[in-house]
Structure 1
């Protein structure tokens, strides 16, 4: 028996019909089918996390950047947090957003308590021509918005580069 005979090939969720020599109830093939059935039954009904959701949890909080000639706007989604839990600073041409989320639940009748803590820090690189004295931050409904104005000098130095077709 070849190794490729042990790989369960499926098409559209249906098993492909076994070859003539596999129709004989070989003990290894029988064991293989039983183990596959066991794993299929065990994981049926569980939604396994997909790769994009794992990536989102690694990059928490979710941040969106937008800019125009006058300013750079940074928007961060921070659901369930208060403004007192968030710290914003400028550090060597980087906007630093730090926070800590704490949650505690207890039920005396059932005799349990649950605590969860999570810290985050996001650093966003900024250009050198920003007006650090006029940076503003607002927080509403779990959304933090930081507006970083550009200097007049930065607006004048901006140059559009034409694209040539070949």
Structure 2
């Protein structure tokens, strides 16, 4: 396998998938074993790095959590004739650690997820923890007077009534 061709393929795939996908892919045991293969090691001079190792270094540090705060929480958005409904997946979070704001068609969900075992050695860490903030663009503005949100069983349900856009005739001067 040609390391230069593999590097080109990974760079092209990264443009289509985004950096976080490939960083999480490189954090698997199989890939780490693959990267330790002599084919991908420096040429023995002690100063040069292989093409694959250079790509690895340019990717930046691999994150231990599966998502970044800009991708968390995962959301679904539904529309009915009267409402927009946003479901946010937030397991294990206290409702007191959540904050919702709405500005025009921008819904922001902020919060904090506590790490339950701070003074331990992590063997595997896929769940997101720490501060997070996600702003979601809604398909349209909502009626701010009638909004409500409920949180239960790890799911935040935000009901946003749609603005009533009654058809009006416009007079022409």
TM-score, normalised to structure 1, is: 0.51
Is 2:158 the counterpart of 1:146? Answer: yes
Tell me if the contact between 2:147 and 2:160 (Cα under 8 Å) persists in the aligned partners: yes
- SS in structure 1 at match of 2:165: helix
Q: Distance in 2 between matches of 1:150 and 1:56?
A: 34
Distance 1:76 1:149, change over 3 A: same
Change (3 A) 1:150 1:143: same
Q: Work out which of the residue numbers 62, 65, 87 in structure 2 matches 1:75.
A: 87
Give how far 1:55 is off. 10
Matched, 1:57 2:74: no
CA distance in 1, matches of 2:146, 2:120: 42
Corresponding residue number in structure 2 for 1:126: 138
- 1:86 and 2:98 aligned: yes
In 1, Cα distance between the equivalents of 2:96 and 2:84? 24
Aligned with residue 96 of structure 1, among 85, 108, 121: 108
| Structure 2 unpaired stretches of 5+ | 6-33, 39-63, 122-127, 169-173
Count of aligned positions: 104
Q: Equivalent residue for 1:20? A: none
The question of whether the paired residues in 1 share the 8 Å contact of 2:91 and 2:154 is answered with yes
Larger Rg: 1
1:104-128 Cα shifts (integer Å, max 9, x gaps): 437xxxxxx2499511111112355
Shift of residue 91, structure 1, vs aligned partner: 2.0
- Return the offset for 1:92: 3.5
| Runs of 4+ residues over 6 Å off in structure 1 | none
Decide whether aligned partners of structure 1 residues 71 and 118 sit closer, same or farther in structure 2, where only a CA change above 3 A counts.
same
Q: CA RMSD in A?
A: 3.5
Among 33, 36, 39, the residue aligned to 2:37: 39
